[in-house]
Chains A and B, each alone.
Chain A
Amino acid sequence: MKSLFNDIRIIRTRAVARKEFIHVVRDPFSLGMAIGMPIMMLVLFGYALTLDVDNVPLAVWDQSNTVHSRDFIAQFSGSRYFSLRKRAGSYAELVRAIDTREALVAVVVARDFGELIAARRPAPVQVIVDGSDANTATIAIGYAQAVSRGWSERVRLHDSRRIGAAEVNQPLDLRPRVWFNEELESKNFIIPGLISVIMMVIAGLLTSLTIAGEWERGTMEQLVSTPVKGTELIVGKLVPYFAVGMLDVLLTVLMSEFIFHVPLRGSVVLLFVSAAIFMIGMLGIGILISTQYHSQLLASQLAILVTFLPAFLLSGFMFSVVNMPAVVQWVSYLVPARYFVTVIRGIYLKGVGLEVLWLDVALLTAFSALVMALAIVKFKKKLA
């Protein structure tokens, strides 16, 4: 441990940092993409992408063709959740519609629907869903059930009034209240987490290539023959990438605020501090990979695998981790992005601070420190 800090000289570190800055600035291609990527991702996620399901394409086959059946179907076509695309006249037509993805849901009203309803007996209706997209299918089924239930209740209420019975009240009235993201705007949910994904991409891609690249080009061989210490080299290399990364964070926060109007309820200072800690850890991973693999191709592949993928899938950014199988949840505890996403969502949507988030912040700090230490220790000033 002593040797890690003993001979560190600022002047050497500064020399490395200055050189790295020059590299970054003189590569406007990469720099442009490093800045452009967050913008692109924000636009995508803020505007285009949503897991919400609307306008599910629908096909219906009304075998009954009575007042009741037409009224029932109208409930579907009039709902914003469904978009009636086809009125089929046969089973084959329905099959074709689903096979070609013209419709994702098909509703089949049996011939005796009208009679059964008139006789106040349960009338079965068949709903066929294209299960290949399970998410949409599940949601669509939910919608279908809601629509159908709504129609049944309307009929019942209508009946009750007609026979003049005392107003039959609905026994239960569910009052849902959504906390933290009242309109259930998925962008409020996604954008804070997006900051972490962006950071992982930049950190992972850029730093994993930097040391491996110097080995490939031969300049690292020259460097390790000088007295420069591993620590100085790593810290010096980190500085400009850290700057670019934090710039990206700033850009993302500003865009979230002014373009997407995602409410930021907590402390901005805590946001940037935790982002900085997380950034250091991510950069550290990139550098660690870079020290072990002297091939840029390999290093970048590994970086994507180890940083971006887990962040995208297991951090809770997009997919709810708490609802995943237990084993997967265990693995997600090892993903630092998970803690960062919790912190960032906490700050943005819940408006909480360190009193709630202290554990996550502490874990992030520990992780970043560990990774950096590992990177420094593992960096060998030798070819082999």
Chain B
Amino acid sequence: MAAEQPKAIAVKELEKKFDSFVAVDRISFEVSAGEIFGFLGPNGAGKSTTIRMLCGILEPSGGSGTVGGFDIRRQPEKVKAAIGYMSQKFSLYEDLSVEENIDFYSGIYRIPAAKKADRKEWVLEMAGLRANRSARTGILSGGWKQRLALGCALLHEPSIIFLDEPTSGVDPVSRRRFWDLIYELAGKGVTAFVTTHYMDEAEYCDRLGLIYGGRLIAGGSPRELKTGLMREDVFQVVCAEPQAVMSDIERLAGVRSAALFGRAMHVIAQPGRGAQAEDEMRRLLGERGLAARVERIVPSLEDVFVSLIEAAEEAAK
């Protein structure tokens, strides 16, 4: 076997307990260099806890991990020197100006004097804040702050960046621009570890880890998850007032669950009984005299996720 490239991030049985509460329950995964890895899960699933352990700012209760080749438990300071971290609250100094924040982090990361001015301009350009360099950070809106925070985390051109919910509370246009930035960076070989609870953002990642209740319940590329993981068929039912028939549909043979999805309904069939479910649905809708369209679709990540969570909850019982 050819010598493998060392993984940018490698985690084995990582665990974090707060008293008796297990926030992160022995998870293991790997991220290759240059990958955009998304850590997906609802609030409270353990995403922030994991990212903090990887950055060396939270002591794990068990397990091990390396970031950039450095051990997160024994060499946290070396880890910190190699990474960029953007915490959930953006963590900029509100009473400092945009420029002053950049200068501060320049000093903290010891950007050499020769490069200082260039990097500063790069950040200002990237964040679109050239014209507002003297503005007080506190008055900026969410989108600007987010980009500024990202810029400050990238000042020292780290090869691995950790972004904790970088787009929460940010408008969709800014979110889009943000992901463009991440792609650009990944193109240059930067590894990005991003946590999010926005399912649609998961599609932008190279690989995903789905975390729920502190456990990693799935991992893989978005395509793999959508096609490989779901054995069940997913149907989209479009009709008038779907909520009226939803509970009836759920009780049909072959149907596992139904949920509203926008103005339509997504129905998940039981494993291997997709055809039966489809027939039953068409029959029911015909009986009710409702004009409807039933078609099989490729599941969205949300469907995958919900299904996986339900499976996990059932397994726990």
A complexed with B? yes
B95 adjacent to A23 (CB under 8 Å) = yes
Docked-complex contact B87 and A19, CB < 8 angstroms? no
User: Is B106 touching A15 in the complex (CB atoms < 8 A)?
Assistant: yes
Cβ–Cβ < 8 Å partners of A226 in chain B: 80, 85, 105, 108-109
A223 contacts which chain B residues (CB < 8 A)?
Answer: 108
How many B residues touch A, CB cutoff 8 Å? 32
Tell me whether B57 and A224 are in contact (CB under 8 A).
yes
Asked if B226 CB lies within 8 Å of chain A CBs, one says: no
Chain B residues with Cβ below 8 Å from A225 are 55-57, 80, 83, 85, 87
Given contacts A9-B110, A14-B107, contact A219 B92 (CB under 8 A): yes
Complex contact B55–A18 (CB within 8 A):
no
Q: How far is A217 from B90 in the complex, measured between Cα atoms in Å? A: 10
| B107 lies within 8 A of A12 (CB) | yes
Q: Mark A348-384, 1 if CB is under 8 A from B, else 0.
A: 0000000000000000000000000000000001111
Is residue B76 contacting chain A, with contact meaning CB distance below 8 A? yes
Residues of A within 8 A of B261 (CB): none
Give which listed residue, B18, B57, B92, B105, contacts A221 with CB less than 8 A.
B57
Q: Which residue of the partner chain, among A12, A219, A227, A381, contacts B91 with CB atoms under 8 Å?
A: A219
The reply to whether B58 and A383 contact each other, CB–CB distance below 8 Å, is: yes
Could you show 19 A-B contacts with beta carbons less than 8 Å apart?
A: A9-B110, A16-B108, A22-B100, A23-B93, A26-B95, A217-B89, A223-B108, A224-B57, A225-B56, A225-B80, A225-B83, A227-B80, A227-B81, A227-B108, A381-B57, A381-B76, A381-B80, A382-B56, A383-B58
B298 to chain A, nearest CB (A): 39
Q: Mark A199-221, 1 if CB is under 8 A from B, else 0.
A: 00000000000000000011101
Encode B182-208 as 1/0 by CB contact (under 8 A) with A.
000000000000000000000000000
Q: Which residues, 79 to 119 on B, are CB-close (under 8 Å) to A?
A: 80-81, 83, 85-93, 95-96, 100, 103-110
- Which residue on A lies nearest to B96, using beta carbons? A22
Binding site for A on B (CB under 8 A): 18, 52, 55-59, 76-77, 80-81, 83, 85-93, 95-96, 100, 103-110
Residues of A in contact with B, size category: 20 to 34
Residues of B within 8 A of A27 (CB): 95
Q: If the complex has contacts A223-B108, A225-B55, A382-B59, are A15 and B103 also in contact, measured as CB distance less than 8 A?
A: yes
Whether the pair A384, B59 counts as a contact (CB closer than 8 A) is yes
- A-chain residues with CB within 8 Å of residue B108 when the two chains form the complex: 12, 15-16, 223, 226-228
A27-B95, A225-B80 given; name 6 further pairs at CB < 8 Å: A15-B104, A19-B93, A217-B89, A225-B55, A382-B76, A384-B59
Query: Closest CB-CB distance, B120 to chain A, in whole Å?
Result: 13
Q: Tell me the bound Cα distance from A30 to B110 in angstroms.
A: 31
Shortest distance from the beta carbon of B139 to any chain A beta carbon, whole Å: 13
In the complex, A166 has a CB within 8 A of chain B: no
A27, chain B: closest CB distance, angstroms: 7
CA distance A223 to B93 in the complex (A): 11
